[in-house]
Amino acid sequence: MQNLGKNVQVRHVMNAQVAGSTNVTGSEIDMQGFDGVMFIADIGALTASQVTKLQAIGSATSGAEAAFTTDAVTPAMADGDSNKLLVLDIFRPVTRYLKPVVERGTANAVINCVIAILYNVDHMPTVDHSTVSQHSTFVSP
């Protein structure tokens, strides 16, 4: 593997969300052709006593939502974890369609965005998803 960019597909699956304590669901991804996905939630300011986690929900059919599995969720962030990431890596999910959910409870949490990195693709190289504006690769001599 010469570079990661040709072996994965990166997608923007959730826009920024202002401070709040309600759950936010991201865009659906189709896992066909990929073995795994890593969801990365970029979390902003957290208010003391918040309970913020990253979960995945899934379904066998597009547009449907059901609990993915009780294990597909990160531990809650600490109150001092403002401006840190939540990472949820799912290898060989039991459902074809997945959505990330940032669970926010008790007190406010800001969501900057959520990114999905799909990996172990059946056919390489991958093509950029429509949520990617520009993609450059640089190789040193």
Both tokens of residue 95? 């459902």
Mean pLDDT by 10 residues, the chain (141 residues): 85 98 96 96 98 93 66 93 98 92 96 97 86 87 78
User: What is the bridge-based pairing of β-strands 97-105 and 51-59?
Assistant: antiparallel
- 48 exposed, middle or buried (CB, 10 Å; 0-12, 13-18, 19+)? exposed
For 71-101, give one letter per residue: b (16+ CB within 10 A) or e: ebbbebbeeeeeeeebebebeebebebbbbb
Cross-strand partners of 24 = 102
What's residue 9's pLDDT? 95
99 vs 115: CA distance, rounded Å: 11
Q: What are phi and psi of 6, to 5 degrees?
A: -85, -10
Peptide bond into 125 cis (omega under 30): yes
pLDDT at 69: 53
Q: Does domain 4-121 have CATH number 2.60.120.10?
A: no
Bridging pattern class, strands 51-59 and 66-67: antiparallel
pTM: 0.92
Candidates 138, 140, 63; CA nearest to 96 is 63
